[in-house]
Amino acid sequence: MKEKVKVVTQAIIFDFDGLMVDTETPAYHAFCQVYAEYGQELPLLTYAKCVEHLLMYLIHIHI
């Protein structure tokens, strides 16, 4: 019979700015694919402005 091992979480790492894992690039490409399905383009600058506004909103509601 296997012995049960108790796991104790000592830390949780949140990577909100993409320092450890780049999540913004794949997200942008995914949005570009959706836009392309509708015959549209999503300029990087437009996407960046939307992300910036979302971040400012999230910061505002949590402060």
pLDDT at 39: 98
Cα distances (angstroms) measured from residue 61 to each of 12, 22, 24, 38: 23, 25, 22, 33
Tens of pLDDT along 33-44?
999 999 999 999
Identity of the amino acid at 10: Q
pTM to 2 decimal places: 0.59
Cα–Cα distance for residue pair 28/12, rounded to 1 Å: 26
pLDDT at 36: 98
Range 21-59 burial, b when 16+ CB lie within 10 A, else e: eeeeeeeeeeebeeeeeeeeebeeeebeeeeeeeeeeee
